Amino acid sequence: MIKYIIRRLLQTIPVLIGVSILVFSLMFLIPGDPAQVMAGEGASQQTIDNIREKLGLNDPAYVQYGRFLNNAIQGDLGKSIRSGRPVMDEIKIRFWTTVELSIYSTILAVFLGLIAGIISAVRHYTFTDIAIMIIALFGLSMPNFWLGLMLIQWFALGNLPFGDMPPWLLEIIHMRPSGWGESWRQMILPVITLGTGGAAIIARMTRSSMLEVIEQDYIRTARAKGVSERIVIYRHALKNALIPVVTVIGLEFGAFLGGAVLTETIFAINGMGRLTIDAIRQRDFPIVQGTVLVISLLFVLVNLLVDISYKFLNKRIDLN
C-alpha cells in the first residue's frame, strides 16, 4: 500500500507540471497588459515599462515559466500583481471556504444520490423508478448558474412561485453566522446549487451499478436462502456496487472544486473560485496560476484517496 501511494504521488508531478504549462501558456493569450492594470489608466509609458521590468514581464516566456516553476517547488507561488501580497497568503484566506463548500456539496450529493439510486434500482421499471430518473435528468440538465439565480430569486429574496416563505425558513436563509461549525447555514443555497447536479449523476450511476449486481448469482442465492431483502440490498448488493459509485464521487468532488467558481461568484462567497475570477479580470497572472495549481493538486489527492478506498471495499483488488 505504501509503495502504491508513493508511486501515485510521484505520478502527480508530471500532471502538475503539465497543468502549470497549460495555465502559463493560456495567460499569454488573454488580452490586456498586467502592467497597465497596475499602473492604472492615464499612466505614462515609462511607468508601465518600469513595472514590466520590475515584474520580469519583458523576459522570454520560457524564462518566466522557469522562474515560476523553480519558486513553486519551494512553495513560493509569487506575489499578486494587484495587491502585492504573496499568492499563498491570498489563497490561504479563501482556501477553506471553497473546501467547505465542496465538502458540504459532496455530502448532499452522496446522500441524495445514493438514496435515489437504491430506490430506483430496487423498484426498477416502475413509476417510482421512472420518476426518479426524470428528476435526475433535470438535475443534470440545469446549469449551476441558472439554478443559483433561481434559488436567490425564490428564497433569498422571498419570491416563491408557490406562496410566501415560512418564517422559520426565512430566518435560516438570512442568517449570516461566522465560524466553521455554524457557517453551514449560509451555505444552504450554494450547496444546493452545487450539489444538485452531482446528486443526479450519483443517482444514475448507483442505479446502473445496483441493477448489474442484483442480477448476479450470489444475490439470487442469498434470496433463495431466505435472507431478508434489506440485508440482501444493503449488505451484499450495495457494498459490491459502490466501487464505480465511489469513483464518480471522487470525480464529482473535483468538479465541485472547479464548479465553485460560478457558484461563489453568484452568491458573493469569498472563496478561491471568486478569487480566480477576479484575478482573470484584473490580469493577475500569479493568482490564476496559483489557484489552478492548488485545485489541481487537491483533485489529484482526492483521486488517490478514491483508489485507496477500493481496497477497503473489495479485498480482492490488488493496488500493486
Report the share of the chain in percent with pLDDT over 70.
Answer: 84
**Cβ burial, residue 1 (10 Å; 0-12/13-18/19+):** exposed
Instruction: Give the length of the chain.
Output: 320
Contact 91, 39 (CB under 8 A): no
Q: Which three cell numbers stand for residue 69?
A: 516553476
Check pLDDT > 50 for residue 237.
yes
The pLDDT value recorded for residue 184 is 55
Average pLDDT over residues 36-47: 74
Q: What average pLDDT does range 29-53 have in this prediction?
A: 74
CA 137, 141, 145, 151 torsion: positive or negative? negative
Q: Which three cell numbers stand for residue 37?
A: 492594470
d(CA 289, CA 114): 36
What gap in Å lies between CA 237 and CA 247, rounded to an integer? 17
Joined together, the cell numbers standing for residue 288 give 490564476
Q: Which of 122, 126, 150 is nearest to 138 (CA)?
A: 150
Taking only the tens place, the pLDDT of each residue in 75-112 is 888 788 777 788 888 888 888 888 888 888 899 999 99
Q: Cβ contacts of residue 101 below 8 Å, gap of 6+?
A: 187, 190, 191, 194, 256, 260, 263, 264, 269, 271
For the chain, what is the mean pLDDT?
79
pLDDT of residue 2: 77
End-to-end CA distance of the chain: 8
- pLDDT value of residue 156: 61
Q: What is the pLDDT of residue 207?
A: 92
Whether pTM exceeds 0.75: yes
Report the alpha-carbon angle 10-14-20, nearest 5: 130
pLDDT of res. 111? 92
- 3-class DSSP assignment, residue 290: helix
Q: Tell me, what's the pLDDT at 71?
A: 83
Judge whether residue 228 has pLDDT over 70. yes
How confident is the model over 270-295, as pLDDT tens digits? 888 888 888 887 777 788 888 888 88
The answer to whether the CB of 252 falls within 8 A of the CB of 109 is yes
For the cut 60, the answer to whether the pLDDT of residue 165 exceeds it is no
pLDDT at position 134 over 50: yes
Cell 444520490 identifies what position?
A: 113
Q: Rounded to whole angstroms, how far apart are CA atoms 23 and 266?
A: 24
The pLDDT value recorded for residue 320 is 59
CA-wise closest residue to 191 among 100, 105, 103: 105
183-220 per-position pLDDT tens digit: 555 678 888 888 888 899 999 999 998 888 888 888 88
Share of the chain above pLDDT 90, in %: 8
- Provide the residue type at 183 as one letter: S
